[in-house]
Amino acid sequence: MRRQHRETLPAEIRFELHRLGRKTLDPATARAEWNRFIARKSGKALRAELLRMARIRNRCAYCDDSRAADVDHFWPISPHHERAFAWDNHLWACPECNRRKSIHFPLDNGVPMLVNPVEDNWWEFLTLDTGSGVMAPRYLETGFLDPRGLETLKVFKPLTYESVIEGRYRSIERLREAVQLAVDAGDNRETQKALGEAVTCDDFGVAAWFALGLGADEYPFDALRTNAALWQRFIRLTVRQQYARQ
């Protein structure tokens, strides 16, 4: 998962979204207006921006693996029509994740139980077994599993598919190799390039687990922290990738 940064949509399209949002009073009207908008030039520009954020491999915003194909509303148009034209509610999603979420969007006191790639850091609700690439809900201090992590993995099943786990593990191994090279060889052009390539090729958001989360205490990432310049470079590269800035 890559948390998505949202500052690149042209102002005129943002204004059109705002205007349409103000005139939609019910789900039926919102759906009709959305269908008209997405077929126009401005709607196509919105799709193009989401596609750009998905990068060259056109990854789904939820599972990071399957090929995305269309705009998903994180808060579904029905019954949440008031969010139909909110730019930060639009995500580029694969058909399976889109279909699964459309019929299962639980709330707890008005808060979505699904983790939102735009607003949330998934690693606050999920944990990563770096020896296998498997994701699981995090344990709370109460000893129970995080309910949002549970619901997220329940709905977005591709996150638990064997092919996705293997891809996630390959990203982990590539990051380990680049960091080990940096630990052994120090700060030079070769190690900087290797770090940059490993983070850029991380389609599964695991670099954030090591740079910004609990994985920072795992070897060789803990050893990299002793080199302040390289560690800060690793964090900067990860943040840029995590927020889909290009």
Taking residues 122-150, what's their average pLDDT?
95
Is residue 159 situated within a structural domain?
A: no
Question: What three-state secondary structure class fits 243?
Answer: coil
15 and 88 co-located in one domain: yes
Write out the residue range of the structural domain in which residue 206 sits. Answer: 168-246
Average pLDDT over every residue of 147-162: 94
Predicted TM-score of the model (pTM):
0.87
Residue 114 inside a domain? The answer is no
In a domain, 174, yes or no: yes
Residue 6 confidence (pLDDT): 56
Separation of CA 151 from chain center: 16
- pLDDT tens digits for 165-204? 999 999 999 999 999 999 999 999 999 999 999 998 888 8
End position of a domain, from candidates 103, 123, 149:
103
Determine the pLDDT at residue 148.
97
Any alpha helices (H) in the chain, and if so which ranges?
11-23, 27-39, 41-53, 95-102, 147-155, 162-185, 189-200, 207-211, 221-224, 228-242
Is residue 97 in some structural domain? yes
Note whether 15 and 98 are same-domain residues.
Answer: yes
CA distances from 68 to 16, 50, 216 (A): 25, 10, 31
- Please report the pLDDT score of residue 3 as a whole number: 54
Q: Is residue 226 part of a domain?
A: yes
Cα distance between residue 95 and residue 102, in whole Å: 10
Query: Per-residue confidence at 242, pLDDT binned at 50, 70, 90?
Result: confident
Q: Which residues have C-beta within 8 Å of that of residue 192, sequence separation ≥ 6?
A: 230, 233
pLDDT one-digit tens code per residue, 59-114:
888 987 767 788 999 999 988 999 999 999 999 999 889 988 887 899 999 999 99
Q: Output the pLDDT for position 245.
A: 45
- Residue 85 maps to a domain: yes
List pLDDT tens digits, range 4-55: 555 678 899 999 999 999 988 899 999 999 999 999 999 999 999 998 887 7
Q: State how many domains the chain has.
A: 2
Tokens at 56, concatenated: 């060259």
Is 50 inside a domain boundary?
yes
Examine the fold and report which residue of 103, 127, 160 is the final residue of a domain before the chain moves on: 103
Q: Do residue 99 and residue 174 come from a single domain? A: no
113 domain residue, yes or no:
no
Q: Looking at 46, 73, 103, which one is the last position of a domain?
A: 103
